Amino acid sequence: MQIVLKNGDKLSVEQNATAMDAAHAVSEGLARAAVAAKVNGKLVDLSHVLSEGDALEIVTLKDKEGLEVYRHTCAHVLAQALKTIYPTCKLAIGPVIDNGYYYDVDFKTPITMEDFAKVEAEMKKIIKSNLPIERFTLPREEAIALMSKYHETYKVELIQDLPKGEEISFYRQGAFIDLCRGPHLPSTGKIKAFRLVSIAGAYWRGDEKRKMLTRIYGTAFAKKEEMDEYFEMLEEAKKRDHIKLGKEMKLFALLPEGKGFPFFLPNGMVLKNILIDYWRQIHRREGYVEVQTPIILNRSLWETSGHWDHYKENMYTTKIDGEDCAIKPMNCPGGLLVYKLHPHSYKDLPIRMGELGIVHRHEKSGQLHGLMRVRCFTQDDAHIFMLPEQITEEIKGVVRIIDEVYTLFGFKYHVELSTRPENSIGSDEDWEAATNALRAALDELKLPYVVNEGDGAFYGPKIDFHLEDSIKRTWQCGTIQLDFQLPQRFEIDYVGEDGQKHRPIMIHRVVFGSIERFIGILIEHFAGKFPVWLAPEQVKVLPVTDRAAEYATQLVKEMTALGLRASADLRKEKIGRKILDAELEKVPYKLIVGDKEVEDGTVSVRRRGEGDVGAMEKQAFFDLVRKEDREKTIF
């Protein structure tokens, strides 16, 4: 029989050949590198039996899916090791996550990270044994009986909750059997480098009313060198932790009186307002108008938008005058109401409407993390109402803004096209048209992208921008969502050239995403060492003598008048102490002034990261800092 390879070539294989047989037929090198396969777009084991005309792609560790299969198999090796050492423990779930995996386990006697050494030793034995990993399926009742036999009550519950008719698959490695959709590596010996990382508590199924399980985190890499690089990155990330630096630099506070609701301090507000001012500057240039919509709107609005049915568990609700209301989790419904206030002609479109809206979303307490995961944040939203023929140009315009912003901050990025999720609204035709329009814009821009199946918004597909920071971590920030649904649900229209009413198309888009989260990313990206234009304090003047203190105060007044952010350290401290404190505060420039500088009208300049750069005329220094501020220089 014949199958079709990724490049379109046809390959002849024997009847009942597996994906691994096909890999061998292509080359022995490919077979050695293979960890899984895609057959007709579905990720499967290498033992999967092929059929006539199947489209086959061999997956290796160079592919994202390949590394996920590798790590998921390592999670099963962890589970087998735990069952060997702690026979009475009960297994829950063990999914792959970014950079690793975890397994939730119910132990009779709690374990700690001190137990990791013996667990890792047992995992190494399992890997060295190179146990074949075999998939098999069972009917529902037999599957329940099998897991009941091993007292795996959590697995039994998972099986009972599966839809009737769904295939129930298991994987066997040696004497160990686990419930799993797969796929997996062909044998345990394929794992070359792994490590257990940390331990935490996790409620079963994320339900605070259910039992607290032990979550063991681990990671695995194709090579030891890659794993070593990863842990070096983690150590660097600890130094850059935005929660730690935010506290030291007095940017924001996280208080128990408002869990998930950060307090911005004066320095943090300076930084936040700089970002907002920059946002307004580029959006005015690009023809956006700015609006502000209410934070609380009534239930009927959220029913119209679909949020009441599709997003209610993430919303905060209340009653006002006996009427159900919700605090907005998104700005878009308010923007649609603004559009509806006045009639529009095709000549008015596109209308680019921006909003720096404060939104609230209910996040579980265990998911909160600094500024990265909060319950209240400022979304730099914009909604573009346009004609169908304007879609491509408008998407290109948004991409241009996002590229300009990320490049300014020194970020690289990659793009994902996210398609229709299960929990969605609208017709197949609308979804296909919207998805094809996004594809066309990306193709026209010649912008490389990967498809993220099923991760679109419930009302439309989207383009997501994942930026890479200075230590190569990725963050999803910018997004462009194409929406055919909300214009229909809100019955918005415009009068076309034919004099008839038509529905506009709508784009939802953000650049920063959440300004709070973007600040957290910036803190870690720059390790708190903000470039001059972003630094809450740009210059610190450090007088050496009492006479110089007056000169320092005058310098601050002159810089403030020029729009610079400066202060003087007038404490009765030694100059070494003042320099050290200014360094800890990560101020870009320190000016050391003594009697000589007073007499000469100069300043002795210390630049962050470089130390003493010598004496300068004060006006020359002012011009230097103003130039860096104006040009938004990053050093």
Catalytic residue among 54, 104, 178, 381: 381
Active-site residue flag, 379: yes
Q: Where are the beta strands (DSSP E) in 453-536?
A: 462-468, 474-483, 494-495, 501-502, 505-514
Catalytic pick from 48, 352, 462, 578?
Answer: 462
CA torsion 464-469-475-478 (nearest 10°) is -40
3-state secondary structure of 635: coil
Residue from 195, 473, 508, 606 carrying the catalytic annotation:
508
112 touches 230 (CB < 8 A): no
Which residues fall within 8 angstroms of residue 576, CB to CB, at 6 or more apart?
A: none
| 381 has catalytic annotation | yes
Q: Which helix (H) or strand (E) holds 441?
A: helix 428-445
Distance CA 473, CA 352 (A): 32
Query: Hey, what are 2's tokens?
Result: 């014949």
Taking the C-alpha atoms of residue 198 and residue 498, their distance in angstroms, rounded to an integer, is 65
Determine the 3-state secondary structure of 2 from DSSP: strand
Distance CA 526, CA 528 (A): 5
254 within 8 A of 93, measured Cβ to Cβ: no
Please pick, among 90, 195, 383, 525, the residue that the annotation labels catalytic: 383
| Sequential DSSP letters for 6-33 | TTS-EEE--TT-BHHHHHHHH-HHHHHH
Q: Is 383 a catalytic residue?
A: yes
Radius of gyration in angstroms for the set of CA atoms belonging to the chain, rounded to a whole number: 29
Locate all alpha helices (DSSP H) within 240-265, ordered by sequence. Answer: 242-248
Residue of 379, 390, 485, 538 marked active site: 379
DSSP 503: P
The beta-strand segments (E) located in 14-95 are 34-39, 42-44, 55-60, 90-91
| Residue 359 C-alpha from the chain's centroid | 18
Long-range contacts made by residues 21-30, C-beta under 8 angstroms, separation at least 24? Answer: 21/50, 22/50, 22/56, 22/58, 23/58, 26/58, 30/58, 30/60
Helix axis angle, 266-285 to 391-408, nearest 10°:
140
| Cα-based distances in Å from 171 to 65, 133, 136, 147, 393 | 18, 7, 6, 12, 50
Question: Chain centroid to CA 153: how far?
Answer: 34
Burial of 487 (0-12, 13-18, 19+ CB in 10 A): buried
Question: Which of 89, 332, 376, 477 does the annotation list as catalytic?
Answer: 332
Strands 100-106 and 289-290: unpaired
What CA dihedral angle connects 620, 626, 631 and 635, to 10 degrees?
70
The active-site residue out of 38, 48, 155, 361 is 361
- 462 catalytic, yes or no? yes
Residues acting as catalytic residues: 332, 361, 379, 381, 383, 462, 508
